[in-house]
């Protein structure tokens, strides 16, 4: 049988508000954590900036909720620093031009996120911010104009900063209520424009990375991480229930950072360690959100780190009643798990473990592993049997602009072609895969490093790591290649 993508398969691309929009202090928007996060590189971290209790500026290593600012300090934007997310690539003002380019490529779906702080600038405001609501209405209408289905992430690492400061972020159960209120507002507002929603982007990152990248999470880190996740699971489950009442046609997805883990050797201890990494890193969140209950191994995980979860009456019923309709995930790479000491380690941002001799690695240390995508798809589909979406996949790479302005990014084309073939193989093996949205269909600010030069787009944006450039958009070779793939429902990639 000839392999093919099913009729009506969704093809498109994905971005996130804080990495693309810019306009960080326009339209009544409140601050989020990336607004106080500097740029970094593959070898140097991003920093979170603050003013300490004595009024002295400072910066703490790490980003998002992993950054630890001193007691009594307040997050602050400092004059001495450059913050790449402030301008990002100005999608806020250029969305019409960008969506027209996506339509030219032939998108049938476009994944973007709503910035919570545009709707509720402080998170706990009584009334939503009308300018924020109008902005996304206009973006969704623009998509509809071209028959592009919006796929909307409700949270993409961007809790309003005021909720972090005044409530302690997701450590606080009150966040569940604030999130659900935000969801109710956007569901009612966009119920005729948006059908597909993702509740939390890469929800599993909070605990999955605690024992990766050289991290050694303490019991306190795990306690906090698992409690934050419990609150997010509840928030997601309640949002799903409310959403289905507001519009029974809504389809909800979870969203998992999908790393395929392999045992580095056939030592049974490695096989087991790998199985346990799947449980703690990948299944833990998927099981709650898709099956509606904590996994069989969850108690062991909590015990291992002396975690005492605050689970209240009714919580488990909420989780059971708020399961998602589809499983969605990002996929960039695989990782090797081993109990053995090894000198041959991968060092890159967000990739760790023993080097896999069968794979090549990107300039940022991410393994190029299309078979790992097929493996992930088949394993996950067999576990849950709900429709799957690959909502992020791409290659962060340096691009060179030729004198005539062209950009020959064959490496990116090769990366996507191989992953598209792997998806077709998984479909051939019975997997119900319904969508593919490539990451950063347009160049945007890297989440991990804050760089512009780690480019993922099929559309180039003229802008460097210090914010210099015209921000003009241009088409890379991959743009024309993907256009052909979409025009043939994937066939041209399978035949190359």
Q: Does residue 439 belong to the site contacting ligand P53 (CB under 6 A)?
A: yes
480 Cβ contact partners less than 8 Å away, ≥ 6 residues apart: none
If binding is defined by CB under 6 A, does position 396 make contact with ligand P53? yes
User: Counting contacts by CB under 6 A, is residue 479 touching ligand P53?
Assistant: no
**158 versus 189: smaller Cβ distance to ligand P53:** 158
Residue with the shortest CB distance to ligand P53: 448
Residue 454 in the binding site for ligand P53 (CB under 6 A): yes
* 142 near ligand P53, rule: CB under 6 A: no
Q: Is 115 in the site for ligand P53 (CB under 6 A)?
A: no
Answer for which of 5, 16, 154, 169 binds ligand P53 (CB under 6 A) is 16
Among positions 229-268, residues that touch ligand P53 (CB under 6 A) are 257
Choices 29-37, 221-229, 233-241, 444-452; region in contact with ligand P53 by CB under 6 A:
444-452
190 binds ligand P53 (CB under 6 A): no
We find the least distance from the C-beta atom of residue 199 to ligand P53, in angstroms, to be 14
Q: Which residues are catalytic?
A: 202, 392
Q: Does 354 bind ligand P53 (CB under 6 A)?
A: no
Please say which residue, 19 or 438, places its beta carbon nearer to ligand P53.
Answer: 19
Instruction: Among 37, 115, 199, 201, indicate the residue that binds ligand P53 (CB under 6 A).
Output: 201
Return the range that interacts with ligand P53 (CB under 6 A); candidates 32-40, 338-346, 403-411, 446-454: 446-454
Q: Does the footprint of ligand P53 cover residue 101 (CB under 6 A)?
A: no
Q: Which residues contact 466 (CB under 8 A, 6 or more apart)?
A: 82
Least gap, CB of 21 to ligand P53 (angstroms): 13
Stretch binding ligand P53 (CB under 6 A), from 102-110, 334-342, 381-389, 447-455: 447-455
The window from 83-91, 136-144, 189-197, 440-448 that contacts ligand P53 (CB under 6 A) reads: 440-448
For residue 372, state whether it binds ligand P53 (rule: CB under 6 A): no
Choice between 83 and 294, CB closer to ligand P53: 83
Q: Is 189 in the site for ligand P53 (CB under 6 A)?
A: no
91 binds ligand P53 (CB under 6 A): no
Per rule CB under 6 A, is residue 448 in the interface with ligand P53?
yes
Looking at residues 314 to 333 of the shown chain, list those that interact with ligand P53 (rule: CB under 6 A): 330, 332
**The 3-state secondary structure of the chain, one letter per residue:** CCCCCCCCCEEEEECCHHHHCCCCCCCCCCCEHHHHECCCCCCCCCEEEEECCCCCEEEEECCHHHCCCCCCCEECCCCCCCCHHHHCCCHHHHHHHHHHHHHHHCCCEEEEECCHHHHCCCCCCCCCCHHHHHHHHHHHHHHHHCCCEEEEECCCCCCEHHHHHHHCHHHCCHHHHHHHHHHHHHHHHCCCCCCEEECCCCCCHHHHHHHCCCCCCCHHHHHHHHHHHHHHHHHHHHHHHHHHHHCCCCEEECCEECCEEEECCCCHHHHHHHHHHHHHHHHHHHHHHHHCCCCCCHHHHHHHCCCCCCCCCCHHHHHHHCCCCEEEEECCCEEEECCCCCCCECCECCECEECCCCCEECCCCCEECHHHHHHHHHHHHHHHCCCEEEEECCCCECCCCCCCCCCCCHHHHHHHHHHHHHHHHHHHCCCCEEEEEEECCECCCCCCCCCCCCECCCEEECCCCCCCCCCCEEECHHHHHHHHHHHCCCHHHHHC
Rule CB under 6 A: choose which of 392, 409, 425, 465 binds ligand P53. 392
Contacts of 198 (CB under 8 A, 6+ apart): 111, 151, 152, 153, 154, 252, 253, 254, 255, 328, 391
Does the footprint of ligand P53 cover residue 447 (CB under 6 A)?
A: yes
Nearer to ligand P53, 128 or 448 (CB): 448
Q: Is 64 in the site for ligand P53 (CB under 6 A)?
A: no
**Using rule CB under 6 A, residue 200 touches ligand P53:** no
**CB closer to ligand P53, 29 vs 455:** 455
Q: What residue ranges bind ligand P53 (CB under 6 A)?
A: 16, 19, 201-202, 257, 330, 332, 350, 392, 396, 439, 446-449, 454
């Amino acid at each position: 049988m000839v392999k093919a993508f099913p009729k009506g398969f969704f093809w498109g691309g994905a971005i996130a508000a804080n990495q693309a929009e810019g306009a960080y202090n326009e339209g009544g928007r409140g601050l989020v954590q990336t607004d106080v996060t500097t740029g970094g590189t593959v070898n140097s971290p991003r920093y979170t900036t603050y003013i300490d209790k004595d009024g002295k500026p400072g910066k703490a290593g790490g980003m998002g909720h992993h950054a630890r600012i001193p007691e009594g300090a307040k997050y602050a934007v400092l004059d001495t620093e450059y913050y790449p997310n402030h301008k990002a690539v100005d999608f806020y003002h250029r969305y019409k031009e960008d969506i027209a380019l996506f339509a030219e490529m032939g998108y049938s779906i476009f994944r973007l996120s709503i910035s919570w702080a545009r709707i509720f600038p402080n998170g706990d405001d009584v009334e939503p911010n009308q300018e924020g609501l109008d902005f996304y209405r206009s973006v969704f209408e623009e998509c509809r104009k071209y028959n592009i289905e919006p796929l909307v992430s409700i949270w993409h690492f961007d809790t309003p900063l005021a909720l972090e400061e005044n409530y302690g972020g997701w450590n606080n159960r009150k966040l569940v209520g604030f999130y659900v209120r935000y969801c109710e507002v956007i569901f009612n507002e966009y119920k005729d424009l948006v059908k597909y929603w993702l509740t939390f982007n890469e929800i599993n990152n909070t605990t999955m990375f605690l024992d990766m990248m050289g991290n050694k999470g303490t019991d306190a880190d795990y306690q906090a991480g698992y409690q934050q996740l419990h609150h997010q699971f509840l928030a997601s489950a309640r949002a799903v229930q409310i959403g289905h009442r507001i519009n029974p046609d809504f389809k909800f997805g979870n969203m998992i950072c999908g790393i395929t883990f392999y045992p580095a050797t056939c030592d049974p201890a490695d096989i087991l360690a790998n199985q346990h990494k799947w449980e703690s890193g990948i299944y833990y969140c998927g099981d709650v959100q898709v099956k509606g209950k904590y996994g069989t191994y969850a108690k062991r995980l909590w015990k291992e780190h002396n975690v005492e979860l605050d689970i209240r009456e009714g919580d488990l019923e909420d989780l059971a009643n708020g399961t998602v309709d589809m499983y969605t995930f990002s996929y960039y790479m695989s990782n090797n798990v081993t109990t053995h000491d090894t000198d041959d380690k991968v060092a890159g941002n967000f990739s760790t473990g023993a080097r896999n001799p069968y794979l090549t690695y990107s300039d940022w240390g991410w393994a190029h592993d299309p078979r790992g995508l097929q493996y992930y798809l088949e394993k996950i589909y067999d576990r849950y049997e709900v429709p799957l979406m690959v909502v992020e996949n791409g290659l962060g790479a340096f691009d060179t602009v030729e004198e005539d302005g062209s950009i020959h990014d064959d490496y990116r084309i090769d990366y996507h072609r191989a992953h598209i073939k792997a998806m077709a193989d998984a479909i051939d093996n019975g997997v119900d895969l319904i969508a593919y949205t490539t990451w950063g269909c347009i160049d945007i600010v890297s989440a991990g490093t804050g760089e512009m030069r780690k480019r993922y787009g099929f559309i180039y944006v003229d802008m460097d790591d210090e914010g210099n450039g015209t921000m003009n958009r241009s088409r890379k070779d991959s743009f024309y290649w993907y256009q052909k793939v979409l025009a043939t429902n994937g066939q041209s990639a399978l035949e190359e």
